[in-house]
Amino acid sequence: MPHIKPSYIICVALRMILFSIKGLPEILGKDSYYSSLKRGDNKDLFIDKCNWLITSVYRSNFANEQDASYFQNLHSDQLKKVLGGRYYKKIINSLSGVGLITINEKYSLKRFSKSFAITDKSIKLGIEKVEIKTKRFNSTLNNQIRSEFDSISNDDLIMKVLVNTAKLYLVKDFGNYMAKILPSVKAPKPIDHIELLDIWLDQVNTFKVDRYSSYFDSFLELNNHSDPYEVFKLPVFFKPKIADSGRIYHIGAAVPKYIRECFITKSGDPIYEVDMSSAQPSILFLVWMRFVKSKGKINKATQNELKLCKELFLSGSIYSYVKENSGYYSKYSSTEEYPKLKKEILTSLNGNNDKAPFVRALVDLFPEFMGWIKEIKDAKGYQAISHIGQKAEANIFVKVFQQLPENIFSLIIHDCILTTENNTELVRQLLVDRLKELYGDIIPTENNLHKVFKINRVTLERYGNKII
- Tell me, what CATH number does 21's domain have? 1.10.10
User: Is 245 among the domain residues?
Assistant: yes
Cα 163 → chain centroid: 18
- Scored b (16 or more CB within 10 A) or e, 194-203 reads eeeeeeeeee
Same domain as 198, residue 172: yes
Let me know: does 118 contact 24? Beta carbons within 8 Å.
no
Q: From CA 178, how far away is CA 175, in angstroms rounded?
A: 5
**Tens digit of pLDDT at every position of the chain (468 positions):** 333 333 323 333 445 889 999 999 999 999 999 999 989 899 999 999 999 999 988 887 776 655 555 677 888 888 999 999 888 999 999 999 999 998 887 765 555 567 888 888 988 888 888 999 999 999 999 998 899 899 988 999 999 999 999 999 999 988 888 888 776 545 555 554 454 444 444 555 677 787 888 889 889 989 989 999 989 888 888 888 999 999 999 999 999 899 999 999 999 999 999 999 999 999 999 999 999 988 888 899 999 999 999 999 999 999 999 999 998 998 887 777 888 889 999 999 999 988 889 899 999 999 999 999 999 999 999 999 999 999 999 999 999 999 999 999 999 999 999 999 999 999 999 999 999 999 988 887 666 788 899 999 999 998 866 554
Give SS3 for 80.
helix
User: Is 291 among the domain residues?
Assistant: yes
User: What is the dihedral angle through the alpha carbons of 106, 108, 114, 119, rounded to the nearest 10 degrees?
Assistant: -40
Q: From CA 335, how far away is CA 95, in angstroms rounded?
A: 46
User: How many helices and strands in the chain, by DSSP H and E?
Assistant: 22, 13
Same domain as 380, residue 325: yes
Q: Which ranges of 153-203 does DSSP label H, i.e. alpha helix? A: 156-165, 174-181, 193-203
| Confidence at residue 249, expressed as pLDDT on a 0 to 100 scale | 92
Same domain as 289, residue 246: no
Domain end (from 243, 268, 293): 268
User: Is 136 among the domain residues?
Assistant: no
Q: Which secondary structure element, helix H or strand E, spans residue 326, and what is its range? A: none
Q: Which of 272, 391, 369, 384 is nearest to 318 (CA)?
A: 369
User: Is 210 among the domain residues?
Assistant: yes
Q: Which secondary structure element, helix H or strand E, spans residue 187, and what is its range? A: none
| Confidence at residue 407, expressed as pLDDT on a 0 to 100 scale | 94
Same domain as 148, residue 125: no
User: Is 9 among the domain residues?
Assistant: no
Same domain as 257, residue 302: no
Domain end (from 268, 297, 330): 268
> CB within 8 A of 96, min separation 6: which ones?
102, 103
Q: From CA 143, how far away is CA 232, in angstroms rounded?
A: 12
Same domain as 280, residue 264: no
Same domain as 427, residue 303: yes
Same domain as 448, residue 300: yes
User: Is 137 among the domain residues?
Assistant: no
Same domain as 293, residue 437: yes
Cα distances (Å, whole numbers) of residue 106 to 42, 200, 386: 31, 38, 27
Give SS3 for 68.
coil
Same domain as 303, residue 241: no
Q: How many domains does the chain have?
A: 3
What phi and psi, each to the nearest 5 degrees, are found at residue 439?
Answer: -125, 25
Give SS3 for 258.
helix
| Confidence at residue 227, expressed as pLDDT on a 0 to 100 scale | 92
User: Is 8 among the domain residues?
Assistant: no
Cα distances (Å, whole numbers) of residue 315 to 296, 310, 320, 326, 435: 26, 9, 11, 19, 15
User: Is 468 among the domain residues?
Assistant: no
DSSP structure class, residue 414:
S
Q: Which of 83, 123, 124, 98 is nearest to 25 (CA)?
A: 98
Q: From CA 28, how far away is CA 354, in angstroms rounded?
A: 49
Same domain as 320, residue 242: no
Same domain as 257, residue 296: no
Domain end (from 213, 238, 268): 268
| Confidence at residue 312, expressed as pLDDT on a 0 to 100 scale | 94
* Residue 206, domain extent: 144-268
